[in-house]
Amino acid sequence: MTLTLAMALILALASLAAAGVALATRSRATAVLAAGLLSLFASVLFVLLAAPDVAMTEAAIGSGLTTFLFFFVMGRIRREGRK
Amino acid sequence: MAHLALALGFVLILMGLYGALTNRDILRMIVAFTIADTGVNVVLVAVGYMPGRTAPILDAAVPLAEAGARIIDPVPQALVLTAIVIGLGVTALMLAYAYRLFRARGSLDISDFTELKW
Amino acid sequence: MTRNVLIAGLLVLLGVAFWTLTMGYAPDAELNRTAAYYAQNVGREIGAPNVVTAIIITWRGLDTLGEVTVLFLTSSIVALVLAQSKAPKGASGSGFLPSGELLTTGTRMLIPLIALLGAYVLANGHLTPGGGFQGGAILASGVLLALLADPGRRFGHALIARIESVAGLAYVGLGLLGMLIAGGFLDNKVLPLGQFGAMLSAGIIPIISVLIGLKVGSEFASILSSLEETEDA
């Protein structure tokens, strides 16, 4: 088993674990962070699949901007709920 | 390797669908949609992969003359670039709607919004 | 109960379909005809070493124009949906604690670097992995950092809207210019192809990359600031 195949296998298992955490956890913040982590793992997997453009886009947009969008809205909702 | 990535993508789609169908909280449904979206992108990129070839950038390592013999299929990558950006747009839209729903009703549980049910 | 059974049934059905697809899949040995055409003619027709950028800006440039339009629609709809929740000037962000010294100083040092990285990725989109979307996302994350460090600050919506409109108009204008001067809509040869691998080569691809990056970056910034400006009732 070559090195890239072993790395891809580890990444796949880690991605599945992150997705499982995102779906099963009770707190919203952990779910959002786990989804961001999944995007990051997918970005590294894209590099292994010989797609550097896609990896850069997924890292910037999927892992960065989406997580921040979620936290903005969750912060607003929590502050309104407390009022 | 392509089979591994393909299987991973399909499993992510199934998990995202499961999360979107069974969760009651709107924000968690949106997180599940994001997971399914990532899965679809992984499937698309995995279809373009060919073993033994390299990325579609022509530089000193892959000169122009050998391009047809050494690079993988560039078309799925172009499609996935568009798909990732539009996925973010759809997520932003869903979050804006979720916020407005919360302002209107005060709860994020989808079983509280029953006007459209028979 | 029936709902759970239906959901399980749907997932099992999809799982079986996916399993059949995975088992019956075999990666190609040779490039298919479209990809072979793109790989062989990228030097002669486009002159850009990054084949993916050449595809999304020239050969399938109409799809990119459509995507940019969809993003514009998204940012307009987000602004429209959240318009009634807009806080009066200076009133939002009052629930935030003031940012610490580390965050404000770090932001002031990092934002020029982030802008430089975004500009580099934009300008070299046709040579190395990168391009309009990646550069635009990086620029938008710089704006996001500024928003996080100073939540009470308001961005000039007029400036962002003007950048967005000018970039979109210039993009379509360049495409129409291609129809007049060169081969067709969004054709590459409005400017000369130049030397393969140089910075100012590949026709109008660098210019369109910059325009796409500005438009995408300003649309993301507009979505973020619409969400930020919602009312702190």
CB of C48 within 8 A of CB of C200?
no
Which residues of chain A neighbour B18 with C-beta distances below 8 Å? Answer: 23
More confident residue, B90 or B54: B90
Between positions 17 and 46 of B, the ones with CB within 8 A of A are: 18-19, 25, 27-28, 30-32, 34-35, 38, 41-42, 45-46
Which range marks the domain in which residue B90 is found?
Answer: 2-53+70-112
pLDDT at site C57: 86
In a domain, B65, yes or no: no
Sign of CA dihedral C203, C32, A44, B13: positive
Q: Compute φ and ψ for C200, nearest 5 degrees.
A: -100, 65
Mean pLDDT value across residues B61-69: 74
Which residues lie closer than 8 Å to B39 by C-beta, 6 or more apart? B8, B9, B10, B11, B12, B13, B15, B16
Answering whether pTM is above 0.90, one says no
Distance from CA of A69 to the nearest CA of B (A): 7
- Reading phi first (left if > 0) and then psi (alpha if -120 to 50, else beta), residue C197 is in left
Highest mean pLDDT among A62-71, B47-56, C8-17: C8-17
Which of B2-11, C13-22, C139-148 is predicted least confidently? C139-148
How far is the C-alpha of C217 from the C-alpha of B7, rounded, in Å? 34
For chain B, the domain total comes to 1
In a domain, B117, yes or no: no
- Span C167-180, average pLDDT: 85
**A contacts of C228 (beta carbons < 8 Å):** 72
At residue C233 the predicted structure's pLDDT band, cuts being 50, 70 and 90, is very low
- Considering CB atoms only, which of A31, A51, A53 is closest to B28? A31
* In a domain? residue B42: yes
Average pLDDT in the C182-209 region?
A: 73
AA identity, residue A65: L
- Please check whether residue C76 touches A, CB under 8 A: no
CB C57 within 8 A of CB C208: yes
What angle separates helix A66-82 from helix B75-105, to the nearest 10 degrees?
0
Q: What length does chain A have?
A: 83
Query: HSE of C68 in the Cβ direction (CA atoms, 13 Å)?
Result: 28
Task: Return the minimum-mean-pLDDT range out of C32-36, C136-140, C200-204.
Answer: C200-204
**C233 or C222: which leads in pLDDT:** C222
Q: Select from C20, C31, C45, C59 the residue whose CB has the most chain B CBs within 10 Å, as the one to mutate to test that interface.
A: C31
pLDDT for residue B15: 93
Task: For C52-78, give the DSSP string.
Answer: HHHIIIIITHHHHHHHHHHHHHHHHHH
In single-letter form, the type of residue at position B25 comes to D
How would residue A75 be classed by pLDDT, with cut points 50, 70 and 90? confident
Residue C228 pLDDT greater than 50, yes or no: yes
Residue of C85, C227, C229, C231 to mutate when probing chain A, most A C-beta within 10 A: C227
Which pLDDT tens digit goes with each residue over C204-221? 888 888 888 888 888 888
**Beta carbons of C51 and B81 less than 8 Å apart:** no
Average pLDDT over residues A43-62: 91
Mean pLDDT of chain A: 89
Cα–Cα dist C37/B94, whole Å = 40
Among B92-101, C102-111, C148-157, whose mean pLDDT is lowest? C148-157
Asked if C178 and C59 count as a contact pair (C-beta separation under 8 A), the reply is no
- Mutation choice for C interface testing from B81, B90, B93 by most C CBs within 10 A: B81
In Å, how far are A20, A24, B18, C134, C224 from C8, measured between CA atoms? 17, 17, 9, 39, 37
**In this model, does residue C232 exceed pLDDT 60?**
no
Task: Count interface pairs B-C at CB distance under 8 A.
Answer: 136
Helices (H), C82-156: 101-123, 132-149
B25: domain CATH number is 1.10.287.3510
Cβ neighbours of A54 in B, within 8 Å: 41, 45, 77, 80-81, 84
3-state secondary structure of C36: helix
* Residue C225 one-letter amino acid: S
Query: What is the pLDDT averaged over residues B96-116?
Result: 83
B61 lies in a domain? no
pLDDT confidence bin for B63, thresholds 50/70/90: confident
Q: What is the pLDDT of residue C27?
A: 78
User: For C35-82, how does the pLDDT look when each residue is reduced to its tens digit (9 = 90+)?
Assistant: 888 888 877 777 778 888 888 888 888 888 888 889 888 888 888 888
Q: Compare C72 and C228 and report the one with higher pLDDT.
A: C72
What values do phi and psi take at C221, rounded to 5?
Answer: -65, -35
The B residues from 37 to 66 touching C (CB cutoff 8 Å) are 47, 49-51, 55-59, 64
Is residue B59 included in any domain, yes or no?
A: no
Q: Does A53 contact C131 at a Cβ distance shorter than 8 Å?
A: yes
Helix ranges restricted to H, chain B: 2-22, 26-47, 67-70, 75-105
- Tell me the ipTM for this assembly: 0.90
